[in-house]
Amino acid sequence: MGDSLDQPPDGLIGGYHGHSLTIRILMIVFSSIALYNAIELFILLFLTFQSYRGLYFWTMLLSVVLGVIPHTIGYILEFFALAPLWLSLTLSTIGFYVMVPGQSMVLYSRLHLVVQNRRILRFVLWLIIVDAVILLVPTTVLTFSTAYIRTDPFIRGYNVMERLQLAWFCCQEFVISGIYIIETVKLLRLMPDKDHRRTRIMYELLAINFVIILLDVALLVVEYIGFYSLQTTLKPMVYSIKLKLEFGVLGKLVSLVHNSRSQPTSAEQDEYPQFVDPTQLTSDVTHAAPIERVPRGMRAWNNISLESLPMSERRMRPSTRSRVSSESTNPP
């Protein structure tokens, strides 16, 4: 299992050598779930977004296409010795580069919806960039050195670095999720008691973020008890689930900042983020089921939430009050 820091992890060189049928089955199951989730997310992204642009869309898409999928396929080829070692390591390394920092970028890309402090947003962005450089480059060097040079210093260095970078990236996601949770609680305190729908959505968002944290903790536990083979195949499955939860978070955020009113005032304007079509989002992120369309003149975005959106993601449309009024006074 690679419990010793002086031994190369089982599966990194020459495939998985263990004789446990259970572990082999679990590796296949974890990899299959990761690939299924990735393919489903790829389809849902193009069914949901009306504009294929923006930081959220691209980080989510790249995390799926260049992250989860190659990382999963690379380790399948590596553990079952189905391809040359250099190809397996290259695929898994490229996937790791995009999948893990990509998850943090997905978290960052929707953080502005609840955080309006530019210092915090800038801190999170630089944290992701610096950590990626510090952790990914040494891990890559040690991975290929362990696979081809196989000296004790490289093997021990890889075992230490592999555990360190996993814990570091998990802590990074804890920090980002923690900021999100703190800011969400602040918004909850500002909401009127009678707004039960928004309060419920905020609690759902908190629950999703706590689930994401628990998944990271489970990944750390499997890593530190020495199940390297399970951890490396469990990782893409966990990240694919977290990406699906993030997709659910987006749907909840759009529902949160989308303020439906039965009687719009003259000061209201039909405003909504350009990067997503709210009418295409459903609460069930596993199925892109159609929902009943609401006339656009009956929708307005909450001022606080709108101000938290960057200008590149805003679109202003003229008020439709005159059209609604004329239709009400002149029925067919």
Dump the DSSP string for 179-225: HHHHHHHHHHHHS-TT-HHHHHHHHHHHHHHHHHHHHHHHHHHHHHT
Using alpha carbons, list the distances in angstroms from residue 159 to 27, 170, 225. Answer: 20, 17, 13
What burial class does residue 6 get, using C-beta atoms within 10 Å of its C-beta: 0-12 exposed, 13-18 middle, 19+ buried? exposed
Instruction: Please write the tens of the pLDDT for every residue from 208-241.
Output: 878 888 888 888 888 888 788 888 889 999 999 9
CA distance 100 to 105: 9
CB atoms within 10 A of CB 13: 15
CA distance 7 to 15: 15
Handedness of CA 298, 299, 304, 309 (dihedral sign): negative
Q: Where are the domains of the chain?
A: 21-258
Architecture of the CATH domain 21-258: Up-down Bundle (1.20)
Residue 157, Cα to own-chain centre: how many angstroms?
A: 29
Per residue of the chain (332 residues), give pLDDT as tens.
Answer: 445 677 777 667 667 777 778 888 999 999 999 999 999 999 988 888 888 888 888 999 999 999 999 999 998 998 888 889 899 999 999 999 999 998 889 888 878 777 888 999 999 999 999 999 999 999 999 999 888 888 888 888 988 898 899 899 989 988 988 888 888 778 777 766 656 767 777 777 778 878 888 888 888 888 888 788 888 889 999 999 988 887 777 766 666 655 433 333 433 333 333 334 444 444 433 333 343 444 443 333 333 333 333 343 444 333 444 444 444 445 54
CA distance 147 to 14: 9
Residues β-bridged to residue 317:
270
Phi (first) and psi of residue 320, to 5 degrees:
-105, 15
Q: What share of the chain is helix, strand, coil (3-state, %, to 5)?
A: 70, 5, 25
Residue 280, Cα to own-chain centre: how many angstroms?
A: 20
The DSSP 8-state label assigned to residue 15 in this structure reads B
Q: pTM of whole model > 0.75? A: no
| CA atoms within a 13 Å half-sphere pointing along the CA-CB vector of 199 | 8
- Alpha helix (H) residue ranges in 49-117: 55-62, 69-79, 85-109
**Max intra-chain CA distance, the chain:** 85
Residues β-bridged to residue 314:
273
CA distance 289 to 282: 7
